[in-house]
Amino acid sequence: MPRHSRTHQRPNRQNRPSRGAGGRRSAGAEPNHAGIHLLRDSSVSARMVRSSGAGPGDLVIELGAGLGALTAPLAATGARVIAVERDPRFVAKLERRFADAGEVRVVEADARSVMLPRRPYAVVANIPYAISTALLRRLLDPEATSVEAADLLVEWGFAKRMTEDRPRDLEVAWWQARFELSIAGRIRPGSFRPAPSVDSAHLVIRRRPDVSRPQARLARKLLQDAYRAPRRPVREVLGAHVPKKRAHRLLTSTGIDPPVVAGTIPTTTWLALAGELSADAADAGRTAPADDRRRPTPSSPARTPAEER
């Protein structure tokens, strides 16, 4: 595979540089359309790389590599690094800088559309703030995403929104159901050149190791219901999926007052409830006679917990 691959993309409305969201304009400077804020504080890059735990054999994608402030310490870990950058001038410099670094591949592409690996990988990046949501959507939305972890520099306010116990958006709750999102540190504008007008955060994202696909799917259903009707009592939301008695028992054993409204329940609690429901479903599958498990018949239909009432 060639080490430096240039994937030229014609600018269109979608991948044309957009104005940085939420104060990505540098203090006292022209609008910074490409969100270029190069890391100048090597202790920040060192912390991010250390936090990522990258090492030999790992695959790390860097989105928006700039001049290589993160690429270099990442390459030093022995991990295989794919440095994605859209600006051809930066790409040329990256190619020169890492010409002899066998483990670094520079890809000229838009981070929003570049092909992502199928094998498990991590992302370590100081991303352009204007596309933070688009990038997280790409990385975390698909049920079968291969991303295992990410260490990102993002706008402080954005990081706070991503780490709320009860995020305001359903899609963030869905990301939180399968990934743990936390803030590892606050970074002052002076760590970048040019300096942005707001503080940044080191956002740490880790796949939750013990969430099965069925549990994640159930969590998504519960979250969808809860976000659709946040004022509905939680017992009713759960009651749509399990018999009322079971819903009541589940809620009280989880320490939730059944009449409390759905909008007040943190994502991790929905996840725990989904874990109980998927365990119920697995038990029902185990206890069903072998024939019933294989092929439901009109006289003995296979039942999900939601139907047992």
Ligand X SMILES: C[S@@+](CC[C@H](N)C(=O)[O-])C[C@H]1O[C@@H](n2cnc3c(N)ncnc32)[C@H](O)[C@@H]1O
Binding-site residue numbers are 37, 39, 64, 85, 110, 126
Q: Figure out which of the listed residues 3, 4, 34, 288 binds ligand X, where binding follows CB under 6 A.
A: 34
Q: Figure out which of the listed residues 20, 25, 26, 35 binds ligand X, where binding follows CB under 6 A.
A: 35
Q: Which is nearer to ligand X, 69 or 247 (CB)?
A: 69
Residue 121 within binding range of ligand X, rule CB under 6 A: no
CB 68, min distance to ligand X, A:
7
Residue 112 within binding range of ligand X, rule CB under 6 A: yes
Residue with tokens 């970074």: 187
Q: Which residues contact 168 (CB under 8 A, 6 or more apart)?
A: 161
In three-state form (DSSP H/G/I as H, E/B as E, the rest C), the secondary structure along 41-108 is CHHHHHHHHHHHCCCCCCEEEEECCCCCCCHHHHHHCCCEEEEEECCHHHHHHHHHHCCCCCCEEEEE
Helix (H) or strand (E) holding 294: helix 290-294
Helix (H) or strand (E) holding 137: helix 132-140
- For residue 134, give both structure tokens: 């688009």
Backbone angles phi, psi at 265, to 5 degrees: -90, 125
Q: Which is nearer to ligand X, 42 or 300 (CB)?
A: 42
Query: Within 13 A of 297's CA, how many CA atoms are on the CB side?
Result: 7
Residue 64 within binding range of ligand X, rule CB under 6 A: yes
Residue 74 within binding range of ligand X, rule CB under 6 A: no
Q: Which is nearer to ligand X, 187 or 247 (CB)?
A: 187
Q: Figure out which of the listed residues 49, 70, 223, 277 binds ligand X, where binding follows CB under 6 A.
A: 70
- Would you list which residues are annotated within the binding site for S-adenosyl-L-methionine? 37, 39, 64, 85, 110, 126
User: How many Å apart are CA 282 and CA 111, to the nearest integer?
Assistant: 39
Residue 251 within binding range of ligand X, rule CB under 6 A: no
Q: Which of residues 140-169 bind ligand X (CB under 6 A)?
A: none
Q: Which is nearer to ligand X, 45 or 176 (CB)?
A: 45
Q: Figure out which of the listed residues 37, 202, 207, 241 binds ligand X, where binding follows CB under 6 A.
A: 37
Residue 65 within binding range of ligand X, rule CB under 6 A: yes
